Amino acid sequence: MEDEVKVDTKTILIVDDEQPIIDILVYNLKKEGYSTIEASDGLTAIDMALEQKPDLILLDIMLPKLDGLSVCKRIKNSLNVPIIMLTAKDGEIDKILGLELGADDYITKPFSVRELVARVKANLRKVDANSNLQTSEAQGEEKKKESKIKVGELELDLDKFETKVRGEVIDLTLREFEVLKFLVTQPEQVVTRETLLEKVWGYEYFGDIRTVDVTVRRIREKIEKDTSTPKILITKRGVGYYIASK
């Protein structure tokens, strides 16, 4: 008799105060094989996230009791879980990704279910990839050396997910670290926004280039002495970004 294959079902916490939206998301995510839990206000969302530790959170901004931005910040202080913000306004994108909130992604309402499911899958794939990297034991001293990349004033430890600038440890979100890692492995090579969106965010389609720009701006605020004249993370106007090797 064949052994039963155990499927690792991912749990997604859906936080929205509009029941029709919750119902649509629950139906479509379950159809994709995910397990779902739901909350309709900010305080309940925090309690559920900390108690049940979901694999990903879909989080609306406009919520009763506590707004989504505050919920995101509180959850990220305790859990390293990918959070996709749901927003009705394009103008809130800078606020979502630009503040110290730790949001990994956003999607604007009204959204297509297909696009949202694609983003859920992309963010979960990225977490799985990083988890596999973290749990793999370094084999020998040579392997340990390879896990550290140093370019100019920037040093990344791939095993510890640690970033140092001029010898000082810098606190980056996982997404910010992934952007730097992708760029630092190919110094002086200009990488387009579309490539970053595909390789770092994992999207199989192009769009939302602004996500990349805002994330890069956030990184610069942490690693550059003067963001108006960056020396480490450089913009090639009209093309993309690269890491200076000087």
For 211-229, how does the pLDDT look when each residue is reduced to its tens digit (9 = 90+)?
888 889 989 999 998 888 8
Give the separation between CA 240 and CA 246, rounded to whole angstroms: 19
Q: What is the pLDDT of residues 163-200, one digit of tens each?
A: 999 889 988 888 888 899 999 988 889 998 888 888 88
CATH of 138-243, one of 1.10.10.10, 1.10.540.10, 3.40.50.300, 1.10.1060.10: 1.10.10.10
Alpha-carbon radius of gyration of the chain: 19
The domain 11-132 having CATH identifier 1.10.1740.10: the answer here is no
- From the number of C-beta atoms within 10 Å of its C-beta (0-12, 13-18, 19+), residue 136 rates as exposed
> What's this model's pTM, rounded to 2 decimal places?
0.61
Q: What angle do CA 143, 148, 150 make, to 5 degrees?
A: 140
> Domain ranges in the chain?
11-132, 138-243
| Secondary structure letter of residue 109 according to DSSP | S
Quick check: do 11-132 and 138-243 share a fold?
A: no
